[in-house]
Amino acid sequence: MIIEVQDTTTSQVAKEMNRLREAGGVVALGRVLTLIISTSPDHAEEAILAANLASREHPCRIIVLAAGDAAAPTRLDAEIRVGGDAGASDVVILHGSGSNAEESESLIGALLLPDAPIVVWWPHSAPEIPADSALGRIAHRRITDTATSPSPRRALMHLRQTYRAGDTDLSWTRLTGWRIQLAAILDGLDPAEILSVTVDGAEDSPSTMLLAAWLTRCLGVPVTMAHSKAGQGMRSVRLRRQQGDVVLSRPAGDVASLYQQGQPIQHISLPRRSDQDCLAEELRRLDPDEVFGDVVVNGLPLTDLKAVLPSDR
């Protein structure tokens, strides 16, 4: 069910949602958190789809700020989605213009669930300092995505400079499968035998840079970055040893191959992760991701990022 409310206020929207709940129970109780999505109208539906799918694991209230023209007259239109149109959530989409086109706590205050954690997700353009923004200050977790930046390296370096506990980035979450497999491989090796590492990934992939930074931090050996064509994501990691290299490679598809000298090739499921998969993972934890913070703050400065596109340096 989709209900549109024109030229309104968030207080009136909240009253309408309460009316719907009392009338038919379609705006469900038992939500575990409030997810605020700040995006543009052009990207709103894509973000809502990912959030709806993630909400099947984490029932929540989704508030979407689809900011319009700040130069237009001040106005607020809303769209309430419940039932099958909202997954396991209730969704409120706020289309603001004028002064309502800017993020503000007062704009969404009446819609927040009482005593529930707040997570803010910026699928594309994030504030200069997420933790100091109007929404970031009230959030337990703040999710950005440097992969949507035109300059991923600059975005990562800026994220490092502005990092606060509670910040995270979907470029890191996309690496979960890779980090699990590599951790299992490293458990069977003597770290002292690893001489160097090569990480091969797409030239536009901040995940490649973060994985290189993670390995630099974990192993304390030289990590070289190679890059492939844009859009291909992570492709391979090579651990160089005198006893023979160990290579985890996923050139295409969702199956990776593990090559170790003297052993048969192993085929490992390593699917590419969708935004809804990454978002669902981030909603599982509301405490700061200390490993991510360490990689961003301490690992990136130790990592050689020279393989990044010259135009992005």
Check residue 304 and give its pLDDT.
72
What is the rounded average pLDDT of the residues 281-303? 93
Check residue 71 and give its pLDDT.
84
Residue 38 pLDDT > 90: yes
Check residue 25 and give its pLDDT.
52
Alpha-carbon separation of residue 279 from 11, 53, 58 (angstroms) = 28, 9, 10
Question: Quick one: pLDDT band at residue 311, thresholds 50, 70, 90?
Answer: very low
Residue 105 pLDDT > 70: yes
β-pair type (194-202, 234-241): antiparallel
pLDDT tens-digit series, residues 113-171: 888 999 999 999 899 999 999 999 999 999 999 999 988 889 999 999 999 999 999 99
Across all residues in the chain, what is the average pLDDT?
Answer: 89
In sequence order, what DSSP letters do the residues of 270-288 get, joined into one string? -PPPPHHHHHHHHHH--S-
Residue 244 pLDDT > 90: yes
What is the rounded average pLDDT of the residues 274-289? 93
Residue 84 pLDDT > 70: no
pLDDT tens-digit series, residues 177-234: 999 999 999 998 998 999 999 999 987 889 999 999 999 999 999 999 887 777 678 9
β-pair type (167-169, 118-121): unpaired
Percent of the chain with pLDDT over 70: 93
Residue 309 pLDDT > 60: no
Residue 36 pLDDT > 60: yes
What are the phi and psi torsion angles at 89 (to 5°)? -130, 175
Amino acid at 111: L
Given a contact cutoff of 8 angstroms between Cβ atoms, the answer to whether 139 and 261 are in contact is: no
Residue found under tokens 């536009």: 204
Check residue 24 and give its pLDDT.
60
Q: Element (H or E) spanning 55, and its range?
A: helix 44-55
Check residue 27 and give its pLDDT.
44
Cβ neighbours for 147, distance < 8 A, ≥ 6 positions apart: 170, 171, 174, 204, 205, 206, 207
What are the phi and psi torsion angles at 241 (to 5°)? -140, 155
**Which of 17-31, 193-207, 244-258 comes out lowest in average pLDDT?**
17-31
How many Cα atoms occupy the beta-carbon half-sphere of 15 within 13 Å?
6
What is the rounded average pLDDT of the residues 263-277? 94
